[in-house]
Structure 1
């Protein structure tokens, strides 16, 4: 999942909404936060995952969201030379 956040951010996807009813995703969000602490996820990439406990709150947060970056990871940082698309 850490890879997925970074991948989404590198594709300039600016926000992902997560409806966290009754704290169902608290552990997942904590996992993301640990990824930031450990240096596996950039702080700006972590901010693309917006969570709220109600749909109304989530929609409002997504409407208010302002991207903090243009691109989290430059495309040249994940391209592999000479693999012809096969890994």
Structure 2
């Protein structure tokens, strides 16, 4: 499989993941979800690297914290909207 084909298929996966997570698949949200997923994975699998990055780039650390909070809030809102829709049916 070519790298291009793999990239296209992973892009489709990110579309679906972003849609299920947040209820929208805008290019901006997809990029935010990619950053969030990468950082979350990295912080769990290589905590010393995440700590080093946080100390080296405190502004980026703050931006990442804001991004994590934004995605969490959007996910909660999306889940509430889904629950409301199910109750209305």
- Check whether TM > 0.5: no
Structure with greater proportional helix content: 2
Q: Which has the higher contact order (CA 8 A, sep 6+)?
A: 1
TM-score with structure 2 setting the length: 0.31
TM-score by length of structure 1 reads: 0.31
The structure with the largest strand share of the pair is: 1
